[in-house]
Copies of this chain bind each other. A is one copy, B any other.
Amino acid sequence: RYSKLFQPTNIAPKTLSESDTKLSLMSKSQKLLIDMGIIRQSSMGIYHLLPLGVRSMNKLKTMVQKYLTQIEAQEVKMPIIIDGTLWKKSGRWGITGAEVFKIRDRHENDCILSPTNEESVTELMAGLGQLSYRQLPFLLYQVTSKFRDEIKPRCGLIRTKEFEMMDAYSFDESIDTAQNTYERVSMVFENIFNHLELPFIKVLADPGDMGGEISHEYHLVSDVGEDKLKICEICNQGANIELNSNSCPSCGSTSFRQVTGIEVGHTFLLGTRYTLPLECKFTNSEGKAQPLIMASYGLGLTRILAASLELLSTDDEIIWPAALAPFSVCIISPKDGSKEWDVGSVLSWDICKALEQILPDDVILDDRCNQTIGKRLRHARRTGYPYVVCVGKGVVGSPPLLELVCTVTNTIEHFTLPDLIKFFEDFQRH
């Protein structure tokens, strides 16, 4: 479709119903996302994603899936409702607190609303029965809703009770090959943050209730974060302060700087933490049954969306990672009844169609022509469209000129339509 007439930001509330006190407690991303009609609170710590929010989330999902497919990860979909007996077998039922949603079905069976799926995937693999070392490694992933009954949800999408998470699980025949797989997935995490152009810090972390030997967290540095990280002044390696290490685990230095991070990813080299109690085995090259060596990997997609806005946005204007903007281009047609109207309104559609060819499903036309171009440009800036094409005064000149606003660098250039098309063809190629 070339027509992009629907305007989801129309459903943005102009003024917040929350009181001023509440407003001042909001984090930047929370305020911007609510204000611009991208998310909306449903109940405490639980949010609707509105159309623009869904678009950003879909872009993030697609990107994550692309990188995972490159390392031959296979997508599955595990249930949200997990049989409690699995968590009793693994021992996690007893050690987790009220942050895990526990429910009882009509037959009085204990169940869990999935916060993570180590038990489920291990049970799945254990049930296959005839795994040979030749088939390994296996790397499975999914992107689904996860649940935590947070006592204090905060900062909008940063800490919620229900969120989108990518969780991946690998199964290997030995610690060596498992470490190899662990490194490959870690590289995917780094590629994703690099693609998003987000400066991240990877630190050693405490595996906590999850168990296993080695664990790394991925953080975006922000005052909104809740984790304190110690970064070595000598080698730049980092560790979560919960690890309580007095010297750098990498170079032994005792000179650190401390930063605050938002945890957006976590990886665990689990060994046989789950495969032993759940009897998940494979047949090795000598024909003997052995427990699989497991690792698990999580990326908080909802949180990445919000945290990236904490890092990039100004107080008044959303700035998205370029790859996650709900639309890359917004075209603003002339004001109804203006001098430019006759030429410009048809031209706006032509531009829309031409750019849709280059950036499919990534262009929106703002045809609320009762508003001035200036007002709609401010709205487009606040929503964070990276490029805005204003069909303004220049179109009555010869040749007709279009105004291209790059909202991130805050620069304006004038283009003829062919040059504008060329600009976006180059943009699309990079």
Contact = CB atoms under 8 A, between A and B. Distances in A.
B83 A10 contact: no
A6 B72 contact: yes
A81 B161 contact: yes
A419 to B, nearest CB: 31
A184 to B, nearest CB: 14
Contacts of A47: 79
Contacts of A54: 75-77, 142
Given A1-B69, A72-B6, A103-B101, A128 B13 contact: yes
Contacts of A79: 42-43, 46-48, 162
Interface in A122-146: 123-124, 127-130, 135, 138, 140, 142, 144-145
A76 B49 contact: yes
Interface in A56-101: 57-58, 69-70, 72, 74-83, 98-99, 101
Interface in A12-49: 13-14, 17, 40, 42-43, 46-49
Contact of A103 (B10, B69, B103, B151): B103
Contacts of A13: 127-130
A57 B42 contact: no
B48 A78 contact: yes
A147 interface: yes
Contact of A98 (B77, B103, B106): B106
Nearest to A12: B128
Contacts of A42: 78-79, 82-83, 120, 123-124
Contacts of A80: 80, 145, 147, 162
Contacts of A340: none
A42 to B, nearest CB: 5
A48 B69 contact: no
Nearest to A8: B74
Contacts of A144: 145
Nearest to A139: B6
A147 B81 CA distance: 9
29 contacts: A1-B70, A8-B74, A11-B135, A13-B129, A14-B130, A40-B124, A42-B79, A42-B82, A43-B81, A48-B120, A49-B76, A49-B77, A50-B76, A51-B74, A51-B75, A54-B77, A57-B77, A80-B80, A80-B145, A81-B147, A99-B106, A101-B103, A101-B105, A103-B103, A103-B113, A105-B149, A113-B113, A144-B145, A145-B145
